Chain A
């Protein structure tokens, strides 16, 4: 299953609930297009919920980084929520833990934007 993205608004924060696999091909391009669309529409506070993302390959990791850069360049912030152990480990291996703000509690993630 490729990635499925559902967007909801909580105050001025856009939460993206992602489910499935973010891998080279359809999964990574879906994610990229969604982030571009949000920034074009002026959404600058983005919380990406990865609780239901079962798998992410290095291309998918690249898209996370690209999304972070896209939102940052628009003057906003992209933060991560609910990492599985495997995704957490990948962020450790790649040192991206030093780049992303990561939360395991949605309320805390939302509050961090204000």
Chain B
């Protein structure tokens, strides 16, 4: 957990099914939590959006919708940010192997934009290999001072 800041307050710590319902619910919980810690509406929307994209990656590409695999979802508040950990039970992911979605030849690709949008919407985004071989991502959005 090298990239995880110490949480001041863990809001959700659950193992979710590999389903689109889990995507919807985690997005909503992240958005609501972001609003509750004082993030402006647009920032809270971006947190929810980033969580949705990361959950889709975990469920579709990592766990491949397997009924036998779960996604570990941890939503917390740290001293200075809202922090989300999402860990799948897939076989790992190498972000450097992903084609650049902004390259001219890839603009008309149907997929491959999720991670780029996540990076645009949060302040920190880390992808790493989990101990058991799956993929762990941690994303953080800074809470404005004084909230």
Contacts and interface: CB of A to CB of B under 8 A. Distances in A.
Q: On chain A, which size bracket covers the interface? A: 20 to 34
Contacts of A99: 107-108
Interface residues of B, number: 20
A8 interface: no
A93 B20 contact: no
The winner among B23, B56, B110 for most chain A CB atoms within 10 A is B110
Contacts of B53: 57-58
Contact of A93 (B23, B109, B116): B116
Contacts of A25: 20
Q: Taking chain A's interface residues, is the majority helix, strand, or loop, or is none over half, making it mixed?
A: helix
A95 interface: yes
B37 interface: no
A89 to B, nearest CB: 9
A103 to B, nearest CB: 20
Given A57-B53, A65-B108, A99-B108, A24 B116 contact: no
Interface string B31-70: 0000000000000010001001100100010000000000
A62 B111 contact: yes
B interface SS class: helix
B101 interface: yes
A58 B60 CA distance: 13
B104 to A, nearest CB: 9
A86 interface: yes
A95 B102 contact: yes
Interface string A73-95: 00000000000001000100111
Given A24-B20, A57-B49, A90-B117, A96 B56 contact: no
Question: Closest 10 CB pairs between A and B?
Answer: A62-B110, A58-B114, A58-B113, A66-B110, A93-B120, A25-B20, A95-B102, A62-B111, A94-B113, A65-B108
Interface of B: 20, 23, 45, 49, 52-53, 56, 60, 101-102, 107-111, 113-114, 116-117, 120
Interface of A: 23-25, 57-59, 61-63, 65-66, 68-69, 86, 90, 93-96, 98-99
Given A25-B20, A86-B45, 7 more contacts: A58-B114, A59-B111, A65-B109, A93-B120, A94-B101, A96-B107, A99-B107
10 contacts: A23-B52, A57-B53, A62-B110, A69-B108, A86-B45, A93-B117, A94-B101, A94-B113, A95-B107, A96-B107
